[in-house]
């Protein structure tokens, strides 16, 4: 396939509440309006994306209708699809397992894995752009490290050791004794019911191992591909900008390059003034903070290939027309 036809992947990263979903949506709208085929995927089940992109109805604008697709990512559904590829018996036992039913999403890495699995599947469909609105970060590296943690778990075959399907020939007796003692202890600590559910659960995960590892392998290469862009979103107050700087540098130290940095809900105090005394001292305080923030942003601008966008605070109008206008204003021909 010629280079120009390769799908470009855009990850939007950031903490909760910074405007990731909105900016990802606007980016998608802008590209779609330029005639490119775009798929945007989000975990955000709240109506925010629906509000912005009116997911449940067709777009009024024909260009958007033709070019823009929206998907809500649900880890449970994705894992149910994966289970569907297993044999009947395994599939039934996993679906019945209560840990799977109730607590799947508490497993470290499940959401990140789901977005990678979805990405992997979607790359086959010939979109020009795939935009992933990632789950909110707790720390900067979460999104990148979780797949690795999952991989370690599955590659090490410990699950098999645990479930006893792995035969260790020579020191089997000693090994078995230790394992059995540990397992017996765990059973005593957690109780028989829970322990049994856990065993079934772990076995189920083991059955999914081949397809999970396949996905992780295929997408791992993707992370460092030049057709993948990382966009980090944050707020504009001093504390937030400091955190953003920290994140950019931390990711840089792990060879993860942020391409676009969005400083959202920005308020420019420079030209603002008031005749009232109380308000003036507040404004001066804000101006001082803004100077410090500006210095930090200037430092970041010196980093290679990092493009910084300051997005002014604005209200999102639900009208489609307004949305398209705002998207163009922010992203232009980018």
Partner 1 sequence: MADKKGKIHFFTGKGGVGKTTLSLAFAKARASRGEKTLLIEFSQLNSFSQLLDIETGFQPKKFKKNLDLASWDGEDCLQEFVKYSFKLRLIFETFYKSKAINALIKAAPALKEIAFLGYLTSHFRGVKPELDYDCIIVDAPSTGHFLSCLKVPQALLEISSIGPMGFHCRGIIETLKDSSLTEVHAVFQAEELILKEQAELVSELNLMGIKVTHWLNNVYPQELSLEILSSMESETKDPISSYLSEKAQIERAIIEDKNLKTNIINEIFENNFDSIAEQMSLNAYVQ
Provide the greatest CA pair distance for the chain. Answer: 86
Distances (CA, A) of 22 to 44, 74, 268, 326: 11, 19, 21, 11
Q: Does residue number 208 form part of the binding site for partner 1 (CB under 8 A)?
A: no
Q: Which of 6, 66, 77, 98 binds partner 1 (CB under 8 A)?
A: 98
Q: Write down the residue that tokens 């980018």 correspond to.
A: 334
Q: Does residue number 240 form part of the binding site for partner 1 (CB under 8 A)?
A: yes
Tell me 233's DSSP state.
Answer: E
- For residues 161 and 213, which CB has a smaller minimum distance to partner 1 in the complex? 161
The order of strands in the sheet holding 307-312 is 68-72, 38-42, 129-133, 8-13, 228-235, 260-266, 307-312
Q: Minimal distance in Å, beta carbon 200 to partner 1?
A: 11
- For residues 195 and 223, which CB has a smaller minimum distance to partner 1 in the complex? 195
Distances (CA, A) of 316 to 53, 59, 206, 328: 11, 17, 45, 14
Q: Minimal distance in Å, beta carbon 230 to partner 1?
A: 19
Tokens of residue 70, six digits: 């929206």
Tokens of residue 309, six digits: 């966008």
Q: Does residue number 317 form part of the binding site for partner 1 (CB under 8 A)?
A: no
130 strand-pairing partners: 9, 39
Q: Minimal distance in Å, beta carbon 276 to partner 1?
A: 5
Q: Which stretch binds partner 1 (CB under 8 A): 63-71, 72-80, 158-166, 295-303?
A: 158-166
> CB–CB of 49/42 below 8 Å?
yes
- For residues 18 and 330, which CB has a smaller minimum distance to partner 1 in the complex? 18
**Site size for partner 1, by CB under 8 A?**
61
Q: Does residue number 318 form part of the binding site for partner 1 (CB under 8 A)?
A: no
Q: Does residue number 17 form part of the binding site for partner 1 (CB under 8 A)?
A: yes
Q: Which of 18, 64, 233, 256 binds partner 1 (CB under 8 A)?
A: 18
**Minimal CA–CA distance to 294: which of 308, 281, 280?**
308
Q: Minimal distance in Å, beta carbon 217 to partner 1?
A: 19
CA distance 79 to 74: 9
Q: Write down the residue that tokens 């699950």 correspond to.
A: 159
Distances (CA, A) of 282 to 16, 109, 274: 28, 44, 10
Q: Which of 52, 116, 132, 159 binds partner 1 (CB under 8 A)?
A: 159
Q: Does residue number 224 form part of the binding site for partner 1 (CB under 8 A)?
A: no
Q: Which of 37, 50, 71, 149 binds partner 1 (CB under 8 A)?
A: 149
Neighbours of 205 (CB within 10 A): 19
Q: Does residue number 162 form part of the binding site for partner 1 (CB under 8 A)?
A: yes
Q: Minimal distance in Å, beta carbon 2 to partner 1?
A: 42
CA distance 112 to 122: 15
**Residue window 165-204: x/- pattern of binding to partner 1, with contact defined by CB under 8 A:** -------------xx-xxx-xx-xxxxxxx--xx--xx--
> Contact residues for partner 1 (CB under 8 A)?
15-18, 98-99, 102-108, 136, 138-139, 142, 149, 153, 156, 158-159, 161-162, 178-179, 181-183, 185-186, 188-194, 197-198, 201-202, 205, 235, 239-240, 267-269, 272, 274-276, 278-279, 281-282, 285, 312-314
């Amino acid at each position: 396939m010629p280079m120009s036809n390769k799908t470009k992947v855009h990850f939007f990263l950031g903490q909760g509440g910074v405007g990731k979903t909105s900016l990802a949506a606007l980016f998608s709208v802008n590209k779609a309006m330029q005639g490119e085929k775009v798929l945007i995927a989000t975990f955000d089940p709240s109506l925010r994306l629906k509000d912005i992109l009116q997911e449940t109805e067709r777009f009024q604008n024909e260009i958007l209708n033709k070019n823009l697709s929206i998907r809500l990512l649900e880890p449970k559904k994705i894992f149910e699809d994966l289970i569907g590829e297993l044999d009947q018996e395994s599939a039934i036992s996993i679906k019945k397992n209560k840990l799977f039913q109730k607590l799947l999403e508490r497993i470290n890495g499940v959401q990140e894995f789901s977005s990678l699995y979805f990405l992997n599947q979607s790359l086959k469909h010939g979109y020009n752009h795939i935009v992933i609105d990632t789950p909110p970060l707790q720390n900067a590296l979460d999104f990148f490290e979780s797949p690795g943690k999952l991989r370690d778990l599955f590659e090490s075959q410990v699950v098999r050791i645990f479930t006893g399907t792995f035969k260790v020939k020579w020191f089997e007796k000693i090994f078995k004794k230790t394992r059995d003692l540990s397992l017996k202890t765990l059973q005593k600590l957690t109780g028989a019911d829970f322990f049994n559910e856990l065993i079934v659960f772990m076995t189920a995960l083991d059955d999914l191992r081949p397809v999970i590892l396949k996905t992780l392998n295929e997408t791992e290469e993707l992370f460092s591909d030049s057709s993948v862009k990382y966009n980090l979103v944050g707020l504009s107050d001093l504390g937030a900008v400091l955190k953003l700087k920290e994140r950019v540098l931390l990711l840089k130290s792990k060879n993860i390059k942020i391409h676009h940095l969005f400083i959202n809900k920005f308020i420019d105090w420079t030209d603002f003034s008031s005749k009232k005394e109380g308000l003036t001292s507040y404004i001066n305080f804000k101006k001082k903070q803004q100077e410090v923030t500006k210095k930090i942003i200037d430092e970041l601008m010196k980093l290679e290939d990092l493009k910084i966008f300051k997005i002014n605070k604005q209200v999102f109008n639900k009208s489609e027309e307004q949305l398209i206008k705002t998207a163009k204003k922010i992203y232009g021909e980018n």
